[in-house]
Amino acid sequence: MDFFRQHILSIITYTPLVGAFLLLFIDKEKKDAIRWVANIVGFVGLIVSLPLWFWYNRADGGFQFLEQHEWIQAIGATYHFGADGISVLLILLTTVLGAIAILSSWTAIQNRVKEYYIFLLLLQVGMLGVFCALDFFLFYVFWEVMLVPMYFLIGVWGSDRRLYSAIKFFLYTLVGSVVMLLGILVLYFHMPEGQRTFDYVAMMNFLHASPLASNVARFVWLAFFLGFAIKVPMFPFHTWLPDAHTDAPTAGSVILAGVLLKMGTYGFIRFSLPLLPHESAYFKGMIAVLAIVGIIYGALVAMMQKDWKRLVAYSSVSHLGFVMLGMFCFNPNGVNGSVLQMINHGISTGGLFLIVGLVYERRHTRLISEYSGLSHVMPVYATYFMIIMLSSLGLPLLNGFIGEFTILQGAFQVSHVWAAFAVLGIILGAAYLLWLYQRTMFGEITNEKNRTLKDLNFREVATLLPLVILAFWIGIYPRPFFRILEKPVNRVVATVQPDKFALDADGNLVPANVNPAPAAPAAAMTNSAAPTPVPLAVSATTSVPVPGNK
């Protein structure tokens, strides 16, 4: 048990890799055996991740479950894994949606089944590694590894324009990744020779003590911004998303919406804000404008879609605008709501893509006009669709309401105008989702092909039921989620707004001029006019050495 606890993040990350390796030895003609092995591995991956929820020390709030080993000593790269409350929730979201995506593919994929599941499991490895890595070099490796499986999932098992969509996805994200790498290298070479390291915690503490010149820091922030904004995707970098979503297989769309897009928002809250707080504050207005435009633009374009999948894809642009708006409010309500809405979006939009995929398997068309009156022949399907749709539009007692309400609180504290535009996005979101439900579920059955459609079977219900349970849990009792986020969010807020907030000895936020955290060293900001930030902490029981060249 001690070994498992000490290496839990590595075990979680590489369990899908073991599954992919096992699939190599199964005859490609034994499709059912391949499906069983892949589903068992996906379920085991979920089970081994669950202890994170119970073992994470919420009173501490720093990085825990740390693993650090020498890796590439010549350049100061280490194998450094760790997770705080933000990472823990995203890791659990990844394992839940990964298991569901694998299960949803049982009948949907009939060709090259072995290769499909191998790529799906490798994709899981890349995503989990991104959320666990505390070394920039290691983080970048996982970030890039994730591109290849997703490219093949879209390009081989996608629909009509799959090659175009796959290449577009790959090129967009690769451009952002390369520019982000330039930013990482600038930070690396800013450190003194002999002390250079890619270790995130060491690099952050060094930057706070020895800041970059203002123009260089802004270049690094913009380099990170491009890499993360394309991945979110933020307006106007979103154009790859509708094509990728539309042409990806159902499981690919679920993973893309539920997890891959969160890698961009995670990048902002993990790297951009803590490493470069002054620059984050400098570009705050720009991010708010782009987020608000994305909220309204995504909702308006979604209302005009004739393709079911493209409608849900554009809804992601709108919903992730809320995530970015809340994050750059720089207050506890906004940032808490932002992270929780990342989880909510994975649950609700992942569920919507499952809903589309289930009916697509039966009719092989995504045109909304081809469906009407489905509730007459598929009442169980209509019920699950209704719950997930209401979750996405933010109905009280469901998860979307909690996230959006908290973000609106944070936005209102910063600007009434921000909050007003965000409310408009919620109204438009309700419009296109209710209209979609009305057109597909209600009315008379106008297409005779819909009269013979079968309702959901046990396996299909099993893919949707966990998401419905999570939606009600977060909507009715969100306290455990806010509790796990409290201390990590406090550190981020105190770092980016040190003139307003400080941390006391217990990691709680207090006004900056009242009992500031005694342990915070006097580290300068990027600009001498800005106040002192709070350094990122690791678990109180663990010390993290600063690796360097030897």
Give the number of other Cβ atoms within 10 Å of residue 466's Cβ. Answer: 17
Q: What is the CA radius of gyration of the chain?
A: 23
Confidence of residue 364 (pLDDT cuts 50, 70, 90): confident
Question: Rounded distance, CA 350 to CA 430, Å?
Answer: 18
Question: Rounded distance, CA 477 to CA 340, Å?
Answer: 13
Look at residue 541 in the predicted model and tell me its pLDDT: 38
On the question of pLDDT at 293 being above 90, the answer is yes
Question: Rounded distance, CA 401 to CA 474, Å?
Answer: 9
On the question of pLDDT at 423 being above 70, the answer is yes
On the question of pLDDT at 548 being above 80, the answer is no
On the question of pLDDT at 529 being above 70, the answer is no
Look at residue 427 in the predicted model and tell me its pLDDT: 92
Question: Rounded distance, CA 319 to CA 336, Å?
Answer: 15
Give the number of other Cβ atoms within 10 Å of residue 483's Cβ. Answer: 12
On the question of pLDDT at 143 being above 70, the answer is yes
Give the number of other Cβ atoms within 10 Å of residue 354's Cβ. Answer: 26
Question: Rounded distance, CA 278 to CA 282, Å?
Answer: 6
509-511 vs 64-72, strand pairing mode? unpaired
Confidence of residue 466 (pLDDT cuts 50, 70, 90): very high
Nearest to 421 by CA among 296, 320, 283, 284: 296
Residues ≥6 apart with Cβ < 8 Å to 185: none
Look at residue 511 in the predicted model and tell me its pLDDT: 82
Question: Rounded distance, CA 341 to CA 398, Å?
Answer: 12
The β-bridge partners of 371 are: none
pTM above 0.85, yes or no: yes
Q: Is 230 helix (H, G, I), strand (E, B) or coil?
A: helix
On the question of pLDDT at 500 being above 70, the answer is yes
Paired tokens of 343: 């989880």
On the question of pLDDT at 163 being above 50, the answer is yes
On the question of pLDDT at 522 being above 50, the answer is no
On the question of pLDDT at 366 being above 60, the answer is yes
**20 vs 527, which has greater pLDDT?**
20
Look at residue 311 in the predicted model and tell me its pLDDT: 93
Report domain extents, the chain: 284-498
For 473-504, give the DSSP string. Answer: HHHH--HHHHHHHHHHHHHHHHHH-TTTEEE-
Place of tokens 């994975």: 346
Q: Is 251 helix (H, G, I), strand (E, B) or coil?
A: helix
Nearest to 411 by CA among 306, 539, 325: 325
| Cα separations in angstroms, 84 against 53, 161, 338 | 11, 40, 16
Look at residue 519 in the predicted model and tell me its pLDDT: 42
Question: Rounded distance, CA 150 to CA 120, Å?
Answer: 8
Q: How do residues 80-120 score in pLDDT, each as one tens digit?
A: 999 999 999 999 999 999 999 999 999 888 889 999 999 99
Phi, psi (5° rounding) for residue 244?
-65, -45
Mean pLDDT value across the chain: 88
Question: Rounded distance, CA 502 to CA 269, Å?
Answer: 18
Look at residue 230 in the predicted model and tell me its pLDDT: 93
Is the Cβ–Cβ distance between 141 and 104 less than 8 Å? no
**545 vs 129, which has greater pLDDT?**
129
Look at residue 518 in the predicted model and tell me its pLDDT: 45
Helix (H) / strand (E) element for 81: namely: strand 77-83
Average pLDDT over residues 11-24: 95
Taking each continuous run of H as one helix and of E as one strand, the counts in the chain are: 25, 4
**440 vs 527, which has greater pLDDT?**
440
Question: Rounded distance, CA 460 to CA 362, Å?
Answer: 12
Confidence of residue 549 (pLDDT cuts 50, 70, 90): very low
Q: How do residues 468-494 score in pLDDT, each as one tens digit?
A: 999 999 999 999 999 999 999 999 998
- C-alpha dihedral over 98, 101, 102, 103, to 10 degrees? 120
On the question of pLDDT at 213 being above 90, the answer is no
Report the percent of the chain where pLDDT is more than 90.
66
Confidence of residue 514 (pLDDT cuts 50, 70, 90): low
On the question of pLDDT at 521 being above 50, the answer is no
CA angle 221, 225, 231 (to 5 degrees): 155
On the question of pLDDT at 546 being above 50, the answer is no
Q: 205 in the Ramachandran plot: left (φ > 0), alpha (ψ -120 to 50) or beta?
A: alpha
